[in-house]
Amino acid sequence: MKVIDTINQAKKTVFSFELLPPLKGNDVSRLHKTIESLTEFDPKYINITTHRDEIEFKELADGSIVKQTVRKRPGTVAIAADIQHKYGIPVVPHILCGGFTKSETEHVLIDLNFLGINNVLALRGDGLKNQHVFQPTENGHSNANELVKQIKDLGKGKYLDADLKNNKPLDFCIGVAGYPEKHFEAPNMEQDMLYLKQKVDEGADYIVTQMFFDNQVYYDFVDKCRAMGITVPIIPGIKPINLKNQLTVLPKIFSIDLPQELSKELTKCKNNDDARRVGTEWAIYQSKDLVARNVPSLHIYTYGISDNVSEIVKAAF
């Protein structure tokens, strides 16, 4: 089932979560354990992240430096198919601009269609680590609204090869990202909202937010979206804090604020176990409030850790 249909037909908030593919060289057993520990809470869909190739420089024994291309977490399409067919839970693989050509994107979407997967999350993705600003891949998309348009064009049977005949339309439900505290590259919140509206105008079916730790930030974001004519469902993304250093790491990486009360409690923590307890309690607090406000879905960024997610979902619902 498409995510948008699940949301529209639900009479109350549904539960969903996100997983990362395993690092290259590992198997999927840990992912299976995570999913199986959460199936009792009836997740309606599972997001699977996609990771682009990265450039690394390796020093050889003779002291010379070689440049190599690596993808640390391959296998998104295969894992998505495995999960959907093994557990019968719809999956939402991420589709990226960065690191992929338009042709590669089309091929991935064809593969997903053949596998019976009809949900995707369309993202620009990050640039390479050595890039100060995002640089699109040659013959790739510069931003997510272009990616959304390509996916919607496939829904009309419009492929990159204009000479194809009797084309089968590929009908996908498309989610996109929203940033309640502004994307770090946007010059201001107003411009970032315009970028978001472009994605919706191109055909996005729903929005899922970046993590936030103050629910009022999410509610204000929804109000801003509605005021500018964005009417699609807006799903809140929740990230339980698991490590003490996330007090400073998360704001730095994601350009978000932590409420004073949360940062005060994390500062008191003596170790990661203490921080994990604080983070779990804070996520429970957030989740209860969001569910009480009947948000479309409570979407949790698990990073493959499930025990505290089980506690959060059990408390929230």
The domain spanning residue 219 has which CATH number? 3.20.20.220
Structure tokens at 207: 């929005």
Across the chain, the runs of DSSP E, i.e. the strands, are 14-19, 45-48, 54-59, 65-70, 91-96, 119-123, 173-178, 206-211, 234-238, 297-301
Helices (H) and strands (E) in the chain, counts: 11, 10
**146 vs 11, 40, 151, 298, CA distance in Å?**
33, 38, 9, 28
Residue at 116: amino acid letter: G
Domain that holds residue 221: 3-316
Digitized pLDDT (tens) for each residue of the chain, 317 residues in all? 999 999 999 999 999 999 999 999 999 999 999 999 999 999 999 999 998 877 777 888 888 887 777 788 899 999 999 999 999 999 999 999 999 999 999 999 999 999 999 999 999 988 777 777 788 999 999 999 999 999 999 999 999 999 998 899 999 999 999 999 999 999 999 999 999 999 999 999 999 999 999 999 999 999 999 999 999 999 999 999 999 999 999 999 999 999 999 999 999 999 999 999 999 999 999 999 999 999 999 999 998 777 899 999 999 99
- Phi, psi for 60 (deg, rounded to 5): -85, 170
What are the two backbone dihedrals, phi and then psi, of residue 46, each rounded to the nearest 5 degrees?
-130, 125
Structural domains counted in the chain:
1
